Amino acid sequence: MSVHPPPLRRVARSVLSLGAGLLAWPVAVAGPPETSYRFLESLEMASPINKGSLSRFNRVGNVEPGIYSVDVVVNGSFSHRRALRFDLVEGMGAVPCFKAEDAVLLDLRQDLVAQLGQRDCARIDELAPGAQAVFDLSRLRLDVSLPQAQRNHVARGYIDPALYDAGDSMGFLNYSISQYYAHTAQGSSSSVYGFTNSGINLGLWRLRQQGSLGYDSRSGLRWNPVRTYARRALPGWTSELTVGQSYTSGKLLSGLAYQGLELSSDERMLPDSQRGYAPVIRGSARSNAQVIVSQKGRDIYRTTVAAGSFVIDDLYPTSYNGDLDVTVIEADGTRSRFSVPYSALPESMRPGSTRYSVTLGRTRDTDSSLPFVDALVQRGLSNSMTGSLGLRVAPAYQSAVLGTTLAGTLGSLGLSLNYSHADTGGSARGGWMVGLSYSRAFDVTGTQFSLASYRYSTSGYRELADVISERQVQRSRWSSLASSTSYQQHSRIDFSLSQQLGSLGSLYLSGLTQTFHHDRSRITQLQFGYSTLWRNGVSLNLAFQRQQVSSVARRPDELDGRLPAVAQTGSSLMLSLSIPLGRAGGERPIASASVVRAADQDLYQTQVSGMLAGERHLSYSVGASHAPGGQQDSINGNLGARLPKANLNLNLTHGRQYWQVAGNVRGALAVHAGGITLGPYLGDTFALIEAKGAEGARLFNGQGAVIDSHGYALLPSLSPYHRNVVELAASGKSHKTELLESQRTVIPYAGATLKLSFRTRTGHALLIRLQRDGASPLPMGADVLDAQGSVIGMVGQGSQAYLRTDQVQGELLVRWGDGQQERCAARYDLHGQDLAQELIRLEAACAAAPRRAEFLPAEAAQPHAPGASQ
């Protein structure tokens, strides 16, 4: 049974601790800090009854024996949530007892777990010498300290797949609906557009469907299904299976829309320290030493190692470039240093790691459907090398790719070699494509250079999508390939360069040029920009863009016929300035102005935007634009609202001889066993929160979501395969409802829909002064039970008991010992009281308790049942 002491019990303990300073003298005693004081109950002169109820607090953090559901934190990092049994040990109080399965979750070495033998469970210090466990009852948190030598070696951030939560069966629908209306001198037009993303979860399987629905006055109503697929995780393979309509990754081989199935590795299941690229660091130490790894002057890793060789293979990925500086500090204080090159491309992988995908299906969104098979594998071969291999096979088409990335002190270099062979409908063609990429950071100057790619293709090289289109052209004798950016591409160069200028800002330069065989066309683009931010929040941005497109018009009846090239050139220069208004630190509106100079038209714009103070649920903007000649002059306004159940947006624009208005509503609904719940737009992984009676309570990081009148709310997003802390704020709820728990930690599968229930207690808050026969006070710390035997409060200073109940009248039992003489019963009646008060104060007599089995159930009489949920 999972036991959670209610908050009112903790409130009473706080009162008890304060009053104990007046009624009992804390006397220092020798021993460790946790037993550095005790309460002298004999100083309670006015109470002739058993004093045992107070002495149990002579130990800091004392808890009663029982079963508690606790958050287990190992060496400062959250590990898991587990129901643990706390047993009473002489001289130590109630301590957690760990079973074999509990020890495994702590990653204890197998030989230590085997020590349990036939025993049911054992203390942590019995399992692992030198280990400690400290329980924080107020937070239901157990901090376990384990020597590293006692644990299995696992990567930082490792999460046992057994802790993944598949969630609950649930259906949901995301929607985004837009309404547009425009009126001009020529007439008016209107349209409605809606996008839906819906799904149903059944265990680990998740079915998804995406589509759009549109209506306008000319075309009428039309439905466009985008894709439908089912997906599930395969944690044993660190992979994911997709069945239905989806898209290939586009890595190594060109991306394709397909209908079929795909099995691919899912790096999200790996620990954070194993995702992305980071080199393995190898070194040696002469003694027990501390190792510090830094990058660009900042420490990113610290650990201690034993004498001898060591390996660090769990670095978190940082920036793609910047060598790692390793410092080894020996036991005598001497230091040694060495560097490890850290320069990577997006395709770089850690040594020994593997990534793969296999796809079987038919192409879609092409002129005709064609079956195909894709197979890709990438592996980190060393710190400096990653190897890649890919294969694509379709009827009368084969393509293969071999690639590698090389990293060193001079930067990162990527090489790839693609070969394709295809029957295009009239003849067989074969060709090659060579790819080159380079990246380098210059730490001294703050320069980041990236030759994103250089590709050269022979005239016979074909992508599968272009082969399908080319075959269609051969059959129908019409050309649709001119718009393809990959068909008969000759070469393409992409580059980018960024330069940090310190407090002066930053510069960037990027561009591309692309040519095609047979002089079909040439595309050249160049972008340059500068930005800076001053201390007062004022920012300045300058951007220049130039593009030139040279194309050759083709005769519709001659694939090889050409007409003279036609060149189109355009350039623009934009300067923008943003200035915060009002005092710093508040919800300041922002005023911005921009000037755009273009060859065909200049444009001047100004705008004021901001958010209203408070929860930032309302945003606004008002602006105007002007162009020479006045034909494009206009004013516009925008208002947005983030509501608990949806996001709303309204936009209005008025210009010369026209005006238009547009609105958008965006949100979601979930269908579950408790009904239908509305909320913000949902991510693929989300949670349904249940907190009965807590209407109005807000979710942290819930994008404005609050508990509705039915006790539910939608938390829009969770991070898959990560520990997510879900927290419920008490603000906004009724004072008649108390949250018995406000925080949960979950680790969901990707795409999981979780239902998380938070325990609450609804009723009237009572503070009752209890009077015994002879006016003798009740002992502090005595338990208060309701008629069902649940502990609902504790006696504090001055015989006052705090509790919460939904009953207008009832009977209470006060218990401070195991004997019949160590308990009394009291009755309360709220008739005639102002029930709207946040705290109702009463007085009641506490007389000798009757012997009634139903009043004190066996389980309630046991000390291990503090505060069962109502």
The per-residue pLDDT for range 766-818, each reduced to its tens digit, is 889 988 876 678 888 788 888 878 777 788 888 888 888 878 888 889 888 77
Residue type, 625: S
Q: Which residues pair with 550 in a beta bridge?
A: 522, 567
Per DSSP, the residues of 763-808 read: SEEEEEEEEEGGGPPPPTT-EEE-TTS-EEEEE-GGGEEEEEES-S
In this predicted structure, what is the pLDDT of residue 741?
A: 81
Residues in Cβ contact with 666 at an 8 Å cutoff, skipping those fewer than 6 apart: 175, 176, 177, 646, 647, 649, 681
Q: What is the mean pLDDT of residues 821-832?
A: 87
Instruction: In the chain, list all ranges with CATH 2.60.40.3110.
Output: 280-340
Q: What is the pLDDT, as a whole number, of residue 481?
A: 53
Task: Give Cβ neighbours of residue 844 (< 8 Å, ≥ 6 apart).
Answer: 768, 769, 770, 771, 812, 826, 827, 828
At 867 the pLDDT is 34
pLDDT beyond 80 at 118: no
Q: What is the pLDDT of residues 838-853, one digit of tens each?
A: 788 998 888 887 665 4
Residue type at 390 in one-letter notation: G
Classify domain 763-848 by CATH number. 2.60.40.2070
Query: Which helix (H) or strand (E) is 192 found in, with range?
Result: strand 187-202
Distance CA 33, CA 530 (A): 59
Specify the domain boundaries for CATH 2.60.40.2070 within the chain: 763-848
Residue 311 has pLDDT above 50, yes or no: yes
**Mind listing the pLDDT tens digit for each residue in 37-84?**
455 555 554 444 444 445 555 555 567 787 888 888 887 777 888 888
Whether residue 627 has pLDDT greater than 50: yes
Whether residue 814 contacts residue 782, with contact meaning beta carbons closer than 8 Å, is answered with: yes
- How many CB atoms are located within 10 Å of the residue 330 CB? 15
Q: What is the pLDDT of residues 682-704, one digit of tens each?
A: 999 999 999 988 888 888 888 88
For the ranges 7-16, 278-287, 812-821, which has the lowest average pLDDT? Answer: 7-16
Confidence of residue 556 (pLDDT cuts 50, 70, 90): very low
Range with lowest mean pLDDT among 40-49, 171-180, 327-336, 616-625: 40-49
Per-residue model confidence (pLDDT) at position 536: 81
Rounded Cα distance between 741 and 758, Å, is: 6
Confidence band, pLDDT 50/70/90 cuts, at residue 265: very high
pLDDT of residue 177: 92
Give me the residue label for tokens 């759009």: 212
The predicted structure's pLDDT at residue 398: 94
Q: Residue 501: pLDDT band by 50, 70, 90 thresholds?
A: confident
**Residue 714 and residue 699 in contact, taking contact as beta carbons nearer than 8 Å:** no
Q: Which residue has the higher pLDDT, 838 or 149?
A: 838
DSSP annotation of 466? H
Q: Which pLDDT value is given to residue 446?
A: 66
Pairing of strands 748-757, 165-167: parallel
Provide the greatest CA pair distance for the chain. Answer: 115
| Per-residue model confidence as pLDDT tens digits over 665-678 | 999 999 999 999 99
Q: Which of 354, 527, 342, 537 is nearest to 440 (CA)?
A: 342
pLDDT of residue 409: 77
Closest residue by Cα to residue 162 from 84, 231, 79, 275: 79
- pLDDT at residue 337 greater than cutoff 60: yes
Statement: residue 26 has pLDDT above 50: no
* pLDDT confidence bin for 442, thresholds 50/70/90: confident
Give the whole-angstrom CA distance, residue 760 versus residue 755: 16
pLDDT of residue 484: 67
Flag whether pLDDT at 558 surpasses 50.
no
| 155 has pLDDT over 70 | yes
CB-based contact 150:115 (threshold 8 Å):
no
Residue 601 contacts by C-beta under 8 Å, 6 or more apart in sequence?
627, 628, 632
pLDDT of residue 289: 83
**Residue spans in the chain of domains classed CATH 3.10.20.410:** 63-150
How far apart are alpha carbons 123 and 791 in whole angstroms?
Answer: 28
Q: For the chain, how many residues are written? A: 870
Rounded Cα gap, residues 387 and 296, in angstroms: 28
pLDDT at residue 712 above 80?
yes
State the pLDDT at residue 33.
41
Residue 816: what pLDDT? Answer: 82
Q: Which fold has domain 63-150?
A: Ubiquitin-like (UB roll) (3.10.20)
Q: Stretch 486-497: mean pLDDT, rounded?
A: 82
338 pLDDT above the threshold of 70: yes
pLDDT of residue 14: 41
Statement: residue 831 has pLDDT above 90: no
Looking at residue 584, what is its pLDDT? 67
Q: Region of 635 please: left (phi>0), alpha (psi -120 to 50) or beta.
A: beta
Range from 320-324, 366-370, 789-793 carrying the lowest mean pLDDT = 320-324
- For residues 605-628, one letter each, b for 16 or more C-beta atoms within 10 angstroms of the residue's C-beta and e for the rest, the string is bebeebbeeeeeebeebebebeee
∠ CA(446), CA(448), CA(450), 5° rounding? 170
Domain 280-340: give its CATH code. Answer: 2.60.40.3110
Selected residue with higher pLDDT from 787 and 210: 210
Mean pLDDT of 820-846: 85
Q: Following CA atoms 694, 695, 697, 703 in sequence, which dihedral angle do they give, to the nearest 10 degrees?
A: 140
| Whether pLDDT at 269 is above 70 | yes
pLDDT reading at 679 higher than 80: yes
Task: Tell me the two tokens of residue 487.
Answer: 């068909």
Helix, strand, or coil (residue 760): strand
Q: What pLDDT is stored for residue 378 in this prediction?
A: 94
How many Å separate Cα 658 from the centre of its chain? 44
Which of residues 201 and 40 earns the better pLDDT score? 201
Query: Of all helices (H) and strands (E), which one includes residue 49?
Result: none
Q: Return the minimum-mean-pLDDT range out of 38-52, 229-243, 662-676, 856-870.
A: 856-870
Find the mean pLDDT for residues 298-326: 78
Q: Which has the higher per-residue pLDDT, 210 or 51? A: 210
Q: How confident is the model at residue 231 (pLDDT cuts 50, 70, 90)?
A: very high
CB-based contacts of 590, cutoff 8 Å, min separation 6: 578, 579, 580, 581, 608, 609, 610
Residue 762's alpha-carbon distances to 92, 738, 842, in angstroms, are 36, 6, 19
Q: Find which of 144-158, 416-430, 705-719 is predicted with most confidence, using mean pLDDT.
A: 705-719
Instruction: Over range 150-162, report the average pLDDT.
Output: 78
- Would strands 239-247 and 257-265 be described as parallel, antiparallel, or unpaired? antiparallel
Cβ contacts of 221 within 8 Å, gap of 6 or more: 213, 214, 215
Given a cut of 60, whether residue 523 has pLDDT beyond it is yes
Q: Could you tell me what percent of the chain has a pLDDT over 70? A: 84
Token digits of residue 680: 């913000």
What's the whole-number average pLDDT of the chain? 81
Instruction: Say which residue, 314 or 202, is predicted with more confidence.
Output: 202
Q: Are residues 81 and 747 in contact, defined by beta-carbon separation less than 8 angstroms?
A: no
